[in-house]
Amino acid sequence: MITQKAKYALKALMVLGDEAERAVPEPLTIETIARRSGTPKRFLEQILLEIRNAGIVGSIRGRGGGYLLIRPPALVSIPELLRLLDGPIAPLPCLSRSAYQRCEDCTDEASCRIRRMFAEIFWSYLIIIESLTLADILSSGQLPAELASI
């Protein structure tokens, strides 16, 4: 499950992605992004700062300034964004590639049936989610080919 923060970020990126597809994209103010995305402005400021620091969006100061998507939508990785905002996406800490931690109550990972069961589910999930980009979300409501067959 993704957090509300990640949903707000995705909505904001969709607005910026739509703007990026225009012939002459313009920077959008936080107010404009909040209005178009239906996201509360007070949350959006912090979210956009995190996304800017990750190099996904850029900001321009002053009159006529605002935020712009600086990566092509096809290079904005959805799992990268989720990890940035929500932390590890693994269901168990012992399955995380980026933030591995041994489970406190586990005596033997190799024989842990809970780990084995969730690992199978998680790897299937990873195969799908690792291929998703902002371009997939922007593409006229169509599911990516990997998901259309599910």
List the domains of the chain with CATH numbers.
Answer: 4-69 (1.10.10.10), 89-148 (no CATH)
Residue 57, SS3? strand
pLDDT in tens, 93-126: 888 877 888 888 888 888 888 888 888 888 888 8
28 vs 26: CA distance, rounded Å? 6
Predicted pLDDT of residue 71: 93
Residue 33: how many other CB atoms lie within 10 Å: 25
pTM: 0.81
- DSSP-based helix, strand, coil % in the chain, nearest 5: 55, 5, 40
